[in-house]
Structure formats: C-alpha cells, structure tokens
Amino acid sequence: MLRDSFGRTFPYIRMSITDVCNFKCGYCLPNGYQIDKSDNRKFLHLDEIKRLAKCFTELGVCKIRITGGEPTVRKDFFEIVKVLKNESGIRKVVITTNGYHLDQKAKALVESGLNGINISIDSLNRETFKNVTGHDRLPEILKGINNLQDLGFKNIKVNAVLLNGINSSEKDFQSWSKFIKDNKVDFRYIELMQTGDNLDYFKKYHVSANIFKNYLNKNKWIHQTLGRDAGPSLNYINPEYKGKFGIIAPYSKDFCKTCNRLRITSRGDLRLCLFGNTGISIRHLLQKDDQLNELKDLILKQMQFKKESHYLELGDTGSTKNLSKTGG
Ligand code: SAM
Ligand code: SF4
C-alpha cells in the first residue's frame, strides 16, 4: 500500500491521457487547447498505460480515473479503457469527461465496462453553459445522460465549477435540485481553483462553496460519510431525492487531510499533488515489462516527498498552469 509521511494512503490514481481538449472553459482553456512548444513528448502510449496500471495495482491501487484534457478525444480511448479493465488488475475504472457527443457515445461507454462517469456541466441553462464552455452542447450532454440511464448505467456524477454570479444563485441551486429529484445522479459543486493561467478569472468569479452549503442546510439535506477510495466530496442526502448533492471545497481547512490520490500526467510524470512542483517523470521505467520492480521502488521512494497541503490558500499554484495539464 502506498503511504506518505503523514500516514495517508493512496488507493486511487488520476491519470491524464491527453492535454488536448475541444472545449474552451473560461477557468481552464479560455483560448482553447494550444500546443505546448516547450514539451514535445508524446502522450502516454497504450502499452505504457498498461504497465503503469499493473504497477499501481501491485502497490494496492484499486481505482483509476481517466481524465485530461478531454479523454474521449483520444482515438484509442476505448482501447485504453479495455486494457485497464481487462489486463491491469485495477478494480474500478472511471472517467471524467466534458460530455462532448455523449448522446452518441453512451452505448459504447456502457459496453466498455466503465465503473463510473463524471460529467462536467457548469449550468443547466443552455446560454450560460455555452458562455462558460464556448460550446452550445448542453442538449446532447443531457440526452447522453438519459441514454446512459436507459441502458442501466448507474454511477453517474455531474460536476460544476461554482462561479460567482454565473451559476451561484438560489435559482441555479433549485434547478439542480429539480434535476436530481428524479434522476439518480450525484451533483457536486467544485470551488474554483486558482491556477498559473487564470488569476484574473479567479479573482472575478471565485466564491466560497459555503453559499451552497448554507442552501443545503436550509433545505434539510443530511451530511453523509463515505468509504476509503471515495473522492474529496462532502456528500448530502435527502430521502425525497433520487440523487445526492456534494461539495468539493479545496480551500476548506483540512481538505488535504483526506487526500487519497496521486496523479499521472499525460506525458508520464508522477505528480504527488494537483498543485505544487513535486513529482518526476517515471516514463523511462514504462518501456519494458521487466522494469516493474524498479518502477515500484521509484514510486514508493517518491511518497516521502508528498507535502501535507497544496498551499493553494497562499496563492501557490506551483507548476500548474491549468487543470487540463495535470488532469483535474
Ligand atoms: N475535460 C474533462 C472535463 O472537463 O470534465 C476532464 C478534465 S477537466 C480538467 C476535469 C475537471 O476539472 C472538470 O470538472 C473541470 O470543470 C474542473 N476544473 C478545471 N479547471 C478548474 C479550476 N480552475 N478550478 C476548479 N475546477 C476546475
Ligand atoms: Fe476542457 Fe475540461 Fe478544461 Fe473544460 S475543464 S477546457 S472541458 S479540459
């Protein structure tokens, strides 16, 4: 089991498989994806991904989240899922997606055997969605959720970044409330995080998730605790609703105390935190099957460098320019 010097264990990996994205979310890639001329390394290859996952399985990891960029833009996306599901020993394989063409992809996603899908939807208002992401694609995403449900897919989560004055009003909260009343979907607001690129946006739109917490308390939602490989979300249930609400508040005190994940960037760097500068390339040890023990040793040694906190509250975003790079 992977363990750091603060006693935290890491059963969960977030792996970015590409930096490329087709959306232009204002807080992430407002000008769309731009090729990084300072780093011409290719994105991880299928064989490298397989070796990586095998290694983490042996180190006690039971869940991998595939993210990006937009993971589904990779041509071999379904092959990656298949290899992780069938040849790596990982128990749970889940993805985070912007839901692009979800209506058309729903069937293939269900058939791929994925254990869960997180879909990012910043607003249920079509115009607001379009303004935030640069794409008028809300209807196809909502249809995609319907299709997933019609096919019996169970583990659907929806995430929205909480943006002051954009999707943070009582009316917005009520529209999500209506959505999860009869939809078995977990909806979570994520507090906007500052990154190297988005300081002006952050200053303009960041708001504490306490406004949503207050709404939940006022409306008699009940706080719930979760299991070992669960995410960082504070979850709320209400017996009258099929879905749940959640809050991911990275600026809250103690957020990092329950950290249970490590990250792999699309170019094969191990990152010990979404922020900060700690992490190294492990790619040279992903080239042959017989490097497995050396790779395990390297990862285990890195654990001592994981810091206690992300230090985001000090405005220290480390080398994280935007979350499409490290995989949010
Ligand atoms: N493209 C996919 C998507 O949007 O779901 C996966 C990658 S995206 C970086 C993963 C998650 O990070 C999304 O839910 C997105 O809204 C969130 N995110 C991106 N930048 C963020 C920021 N600065 N603060 C908070 N969340 C952010
Ligand atoms: Fe793309 Fe996701 Fe970033 Fe939006 S948040 S620009 S969908 S990577």
Ligand 1 neighbour 97 (Cβ under 6 A) = yes
pLDDT 10s digits, 55-98: 999 999 999 999 999 999 999 999 999 999 999 999 999 999 99
For ligand 1, the distance from its centroid to the CA atom of residue 277, given in whole angstroms, is 19
Show the tokens assigned to 35: 């090729």
For ligand 1, the distance from its centroid to the CA atom of residue 93, given in whole angstroms, is 18
Task: Answer whether 34's CB lies under 8 Å from 20's CB.
Answer: no
Question: Which listed CATH number (2.40.440.10, 3.30.930.10, 3.40.50.510, 3.20.20.70) goes with 12-326?
Answer: 3.20.20.70
120, with CB counted inside 10 A (0-12, 13-18, 19+), is buried
Q: Is the pLDDT of residue 247 over 50?
A: yes
For ligand 1, the distance from its centroid to the CA atom of residue 323, given in whole angstroms, is 6
Ligand 2 neighbour 259 (Cβ under 6 A) = no
Ligand 2 neighbour 324 (Cβ under 6 A) = yes
Task: Answer whether 63's CB lies under 8 Å from 11's CB.
Answer: yes
Ligand 1 neighbour 231 (Cβ under 6 A) = no
Q: Is the pLDDT of residue 25 over 90?
A: yes
For ligand 1, the distance from its centroid to the CA atom of residue 181, given in whole angstroms, is 25
pLDDT 10s digits, 297-322: 999 998 887 777 766 666 666 667 88
Ligand 2 neighbour 25 (Cβ under 6 A) = yes
Residue 303's pLDDT is 85
State which ligand 2 atom lies nearest to the alpha carbon of 69: 8
Residue 64's pLDDT is 96
What band does 226 get if pLDDT is binned at 50, 70 and 90? low
Residue 278's pLDDT is 63
pTM over 0.85: yes
Q: Is the pLDDT of residue 296 over 60?
A: yes
Where along the chain do its domains lie?
12-326
Please tell me the least confidently modeled range out of 10-14, 58-62, 75-79, 283-287: 10-14
Nearest ligand by distance to the CA of 196: 1
Ligand 1 neighbour 264 (Cβ under 6 A) = no
